[in-house]
Amino acid sequence: MEQLHGVAEVRERVAQWRHEGHTIGLVPTMGNLHDGHLSLVREARRHCDRVVVSIFVNPTQFGPGEDFDAYPRTLDADAARLREAGVEVLFAPTVEAMYPLGANRTWVDVDALGDYLCGADRPGHFRGVATVVSKLFNIVQPDVAVFGEKDFQQLAILRRMAAELLFPIRLIGAPTAREADGLAMSSRNGFLTETERARAPLLQQHLQDARRAVEQGERDYRALEKRIAVSLAEHGFDVDYVTVANATTLAPAASEDRELVIAAAARLGRPRLIDNLTLSLPAA
């Protein structure tokens, strides 16, 4: 596996692969890799001949008071895991490589989709995500890019961005990788104390309860959201949101909507946990 840090180096390697007739997959990450990230690598390998994994802790998607400085940076351990997984290139650029003119003045912003769920509490977050991913798409120019469905809103925004900006890239959503007790894998789970870690699967369990309620005919989604949020708070979660949303627009779902996502974000001690479940209702 090659570990590259410069934009020109990556473009040169990709050009060589293109000349040899290979297809290319990209898995963007912020590092501190876990088995969930490796499942994305395996998914990319299913569709492509060569896989590039990027590791870049992107400063523009962190807001004031968020954990940019504290975000785990474990490049050597990550490189070892990617090498074992058979990745051809690890692209680990510096901030200067990704933002060569210093303070960024050019942004990619997907209207409306970023106004709900995590975007409502993290202004500018998805603008930073869309901007850095568009840079990675421009650098690597992959045939396929793989993202986890745990970040449902991010995937929806990036799919819209790729379609509207005419990127010739197929975006694939990989199922959320979970621990044996149902907790969605996340780099931030390492911040949980032993007591918090034992409680953390309750987030997923509450989403399953909400899905069962909807499947059994519950249509007062705002009341359902409130009940789930209150119950999570009683179990020690500091709830940012619980939302039953239209899976396409991400706006709060109406009773006539058929494709839904039930999403939640809550702090448990230090880390902020997110999770979601989707469901399709039969036609009325």
Of 149, 174, 199, the domain-final residue: 174
| Domain of residue 264, residue span | 187-275
CATH number at residue 216: 3.30.1300.10
Which residue ranges are tagged as binding site for ATP?
A: 30-37, 148-151, 177, 185-188
Angle 125-140/7-19 helices, nearest 10 degrees? 50
List the catalytic residue out of 19, 37, 125, 235. Answer: 37
Which residue ranges are tagged as binding site?
A: 30-37, 61, 148-151, 154, 177, 185-188
- Residue 215's SS3 state is helix
Buried b (16+ CB within 10 A) or exposed e, 133-162: bbbbbebbbbbbbbbbbbbbbbbbbbbbbb
pTM of the predicted model as reported, rounded to 2 decimal places: 0.95
- pLDDT digits 0-9 by tens, 138-178: 999 999 999 999 999 999 999 999 999 999 999 999 999 99
Tell whether the model's pLDDT for residue 101 goes beyond 90.
Answer: yes
Which residue ranges are tagged as binding site for (R)-pantoate?
A: 61, 154
Confidence (pLDDT) at 40: 98
If one counts the domains in the chain, the total is 2
Cβ(262)–Cβ(221) below 8 Å: no
238: left (phi over 0), alpha (psi -120 to 50) or beta: beta
Give the mean pLDDT of 5-17: 98
Same domain, 226 and 87: no
Q: Residue 118 is encoded by which pair of tokens?
A: 């995590």
Q: Judge whether 125 counts as a catalytic residue.
A: no
CATH number at residue 22: 3.40.50.620
- pLDDT digits 0-9 by tens, 25-48: 999 999 999 999 999 999 999 999
In a domain, 8, yes or no: yes
Say if strands 259-267 and 272-280 run parallel, antiparallel, or are unpaired: antiparallel
